[in-house]
A = this chain, B = another copy of it.
């Protein structure tokens, strides 16, 4: 159980260089004005010789700050998170901070993540969009920590919120489907949307649209697959063979929508003539499908705002900024599939 890697400490570096630990600390932290060039060189040489690496725990304990931020995502393998990670890393680099990512793919992992965050494993965190399993209560428990929550379900409460207008954009997409004569619209959802344990906007938008237009809710048209390309393909294929043949598919993710297009093509179904397809997310990939994917999303994948908000909080000295809200405009992007 014990694994005490014995690494050299500042004390040993100091001894070798013939100076005090304070001097070592000054040199290592670039406080140039505090130490002479000769001494500086001796310390650096000693550190090098011993292979000195500072202990992050000791430093963080003393500083009361880790100089790291955390990105909390729902799964690896979601294309948009890739860009989010990149944008956050860019901001972190600029601030001299590290980035750690945590994957929350179950309620148990959500607890673990909240624990780690509360134990101050990082100075702040971004909760990525669509991380289910993280309850409002858990978010509140984290509010001591600089936090940016990307969610339409959260209200700023000690943390910042980045929202999208996906609600309205989804409604517009669904209205469009109905306006073009679709009456049997299938919904291809995320697992957590369908179990009912965790409500989501996309599913809600779907149900609301049906109601708004006086269409029946048909449970057999609501299927799983938005998390997984293969599941989506199979769900759509099964739908085609099912009791109610859909004339449109509204997929809660572009990945699933793309699978839907493939499944429909493979089944010889004309898109959009026989079945229309709409996705959510505006992935680049939607531009290379045949027909190109009609979707709902931001004009471009860009998460600099969220990253900026986080670092404003993390680096803030004195009073914390009040909870802010930034809204990213999402629109209905009509291409060929609907």
If A73-B76, A121-B56 touch, does A3 touch B144 (CB 8 Å cutoff)? Answer: no
Given contacts A99-B103, A103-B89, A266-B290, contact A56 B3 (CB under 8 A): no
A316 at the interface (CB under 8 A from B): yes
Q: Does A86 contact B (CB under 8 A)?
A: yes
Within 8 A of B (CB), among A85-124: 85-86, 89, 93, 98-103, 105, 108-109, 112, 115-116, 118-121, 123
Do residues B55 and A119 form an inter-chain contact, with CB atoms below 8 A? yes
A230 CB-CB contact with B under 8 Å: yes
Given A55-B119, A288-B230, A82:B89 Cβ within 8 A: no
A308 within 8 A of partner (CB): no
Query: Chain B contacts of A60 at CB under 8 A?
Result: 57
Which of the 9-residue segments A26-34, A38-46, A64-72, A178-186 touches chain B? Answer: A64-72
Which of A123, A230, A316: most chain B Cβ within 10 A? A230
Of the residues B4, B65, B263, contact of A3 by C-beta under 8 Å? B65
Residue of B1, B64, B99, B289 near A317 (CB, 8 A) is B1
| In the complex, A53 has a CB within 8 A of chain B | yes
Question: A7: CB under 8 A from chain B?
Answer: yes
Q: Which B residues are CB-close (under 8 A) to A116? A: 56, 68, 98
Closest Cβ of chain B to A57, distance in Å, is 4
A77 contacts partner chain B, Cβ-Cβ < 8 Å: yes
Q: In this assembly, does A192 line the interface, its C-beta being within 8 Å of a C-beta of chain B?
A: no
Residue of B nearest to A229 (CB): B285
How many chain A residues have a CB neighbour from B under 8 Å? 69
Contact of A287 with B99 in the complex, beta carbons under 8 Å:
no
In the assembled complex, which residues on chain B have CB atoms less than 8 Å from the CB atom of A259?
Answer: 288
Question: Which chain B positions have C-beta within 8 A of A230?
Answer: 284-285, 287-288
Give the Cβ gap from A79 to chain B, nearest Cβ, in Å. 5
Q: Which residue of B lies closest to A75 (CB)?
A: B82
Which residues does chain B contribute within 8 Å of A229, judged by CB atoms?
285, 288
Say whether A54 faces chain B, with CB atoms less than 8 Å apart: yes
A92 to chain B, nearest CB (A): 9
Q: With the chains together, A146 CA to B315 CA distance in Å?
A: 33
Q: Is A24 an interface residue (CB 8 A)?
A: no
CB distance from A137 to the nearest CB of B (A): 13
Q: Which residue of B lies closest to A122 (CB)?
A: B100
- Distance between A175 CB and nearest chain B CB, rounded to angstroms: 29
Chain B min CB distance to A69 (Å): 12
Q: Are A112 and B86 touching (Cβ within 8 A)?
A: no
**Is A78 at the interface (CB under 8 A from chain B)?**
yes
Quote the shortest CB–CB distance from A312 to chain B (angstroms).
Answer: 12
A-B residue pairs in contact (CB < 8 Å), sample of 6 = A2-B65, A76-B85, A98-B121, A100-B121, A101-B101, A262-B290
Q: Contacts A61-B61, A76-B76, A98-B116 given; 14 further ones with Cβ under 8 A?
A: A1-B315, A1-B317, A3-B123, A4-B64, A5-B144, A56-B57, A56-B120, A57-B60, A57-B66, A73-B76, A76-B85, A77-B78, A93-B112, A262-B289
